[in-house]
Amino acid sequence: LRELRSAVPAPADAAATTNATATANATQCLPGAIIIGVRKGGTRALLEMLSLHPGVAVAKAEVHYFNLEEHYRRGLGWYRAQMPASLPGQLTVEKTPGYFAAPLAPGRVRAMDGAVRLLLIVRDPAERLVSDYTQVLHNRRQRGKPYRPLEELLLRPDGAIDAGYKALQRSLYHQHLGRWLQRFPRGQIHVVDGDALVRDPFPELRGVERFLELSPRIAPSNFYFNATKGFYCLLPNAGQERCLDESKGRPHAPLGANARRKLCRFLRRPNRRFFEMVGRVFAWC
């Protein structure tokens, strides 16, 4: 496995044969690793960056198998058919951020493969909530539909935080992680710092390679900061440089300082519980 993941390129005159053999050997496999969330945490960036590794084959589209009944009903054969073609020894990875908060997902993933490796990329949950709201607002505007301002959804008429607001619920990481930890040992879940991934992707990717037991093939030279985009973009060893699309890194909807303070105060205890669960502290608001 390791050998294939760090294989040396074939000589030029053997390239055509090698390509033909590779195509013939390609099959679709169930994922060996899944990026389970969090929504708006940087899951797309993580998947794209991981796809720079020659030992990894990624499913481009979100599959939503374990969280949507209409997909789950179709069975594992359907799920496998959504996976990319991979070569023997390559690790298949899919990402569906909706898995993290879906109550039935941990049990279903476990039923598929109790040894699958899970990647969870987290981000300051207050910022995540604003990003989540911004995405929903954008989608509704696209469909010509109105949407209430963020503060109206986040605060009740008496000014207190509305704990039932869905985007806030999705930011209560400890609740969701608790369900995953009922089904998987802590060591099988690798937590990626999404804020750190934005600042400097390479160290986070190195940690992911280690967790997935991949040879270290992703290098700092695979990333460059694109000042126009305001984010790191990808420089594959072969192929075109690319940035994530415009749905990533949109300007966030406004949230007043007072409401933000209340939100941060509300999140303090849930965040502390999450830190205890993962054995690590994040510099969140």
- Annotated binding residues for 3'-phosphoadenylyl sulfate: 40-44, 123, 131, 232, 248-252
> How far apart are alpha carbons 9 and 15 in whole angstroms?
9
**Does the footprint of ligand PPS cover residue 231 (CB under 6 A)?**
yes
Is residue 198 reached through a cis peptide bond, with omega within 30 degrees of 0 on the bond before it? Answer: no
Q: Which is nearer to ligand PPS, 41 or 55 (CB)?
A: 41
Residue 232 sits in the site that holds ligand PPS (CB under 6 A): yes
Judge residue 73's burial from the number of C-beta atoms within 10 Å of its C-beta, 0-12 exposed, 13-18 middle, 19 or more buried: exposed
Q: Please state whether 94 falls in left (phi above 0), alpha (psi between -120 and 50) or beta.
A: beta
Tokens, residue 230:
């305001």
- Total residues contacting ligand PPS by CB under 6 A comes to 18
Near ligand PPS by CB under 6 A: residue from 32, 97, 106, 125: 97
Q: Residue holding tokens 């994040």?
A: 282
Active site (annotated) includes residue 40: yes
Place of tokens 């303070």: 261
- How far is it, in rounded angstroms, from Cα 159 to Cα 154? 9
Which residues are paired to 246 by β-bridges? none
Residue range at the interface with ligand PPS (CB under 6 A); choices 21-29, 38-46, 75-83, 269-277: 38-46
Q: Which residue has the tokens 């499913």?
A: 59
Instruction: Let me know: does 36 contact 100? Beta carbons within 8 Å.
Output: yes
In a 3-state reduction of DSSP, which class is residue 55? coil
- Compare residues 199 and 269 and give the one whose CB is closer to ligand PPS: 199
Amino acid, res. 27: T
Q: Residue 93 Cβ, how far from ligand PPS at the closest point, in Å?
A: 14
CA distance 72 to 76: 8
Out of 71, 80, 206, 248, point to the residue binding ligand PPS (CB under 6 A): 248
Q: Applying CB under 6 A, does 34 fall inside the site for ligand PPS? A: no
Taking the complex as a whole, the smallest distance from the CB of residue 170 to ligand PPS amounts, in Å, to 10
State yes or no: residue 92 binds ligand PPS (CB under 6 A).
no
**Shortest spacing between CB 120 and ligand PPS, in angstroms:** 11
Is 209 in contact with 202 (CB distance < 8 Å)?
no
Question: From the CB of 123, what's the least distance to ligand PPS, in Å?
Answer: 7
Asked if 190 touches ligand PPS (CB under 6 A), the answer is no
Residue 242 binding ligand PPS, by CB under 6 A:
no
Residues 120-179 that bind ligand PPS (CB under 6 A): 131, 135
The answer to whether residue 54 forms part of the interface with ligand PPS (CB under 6 A) is: no
Known catalytic residues?
40
- Residues of the shown chain interacting with ligand PPS in the complex, contacts defined by CB under 6 A: 39-45, 97, 131, 135, 197-198, 231-232, 244, 248-250
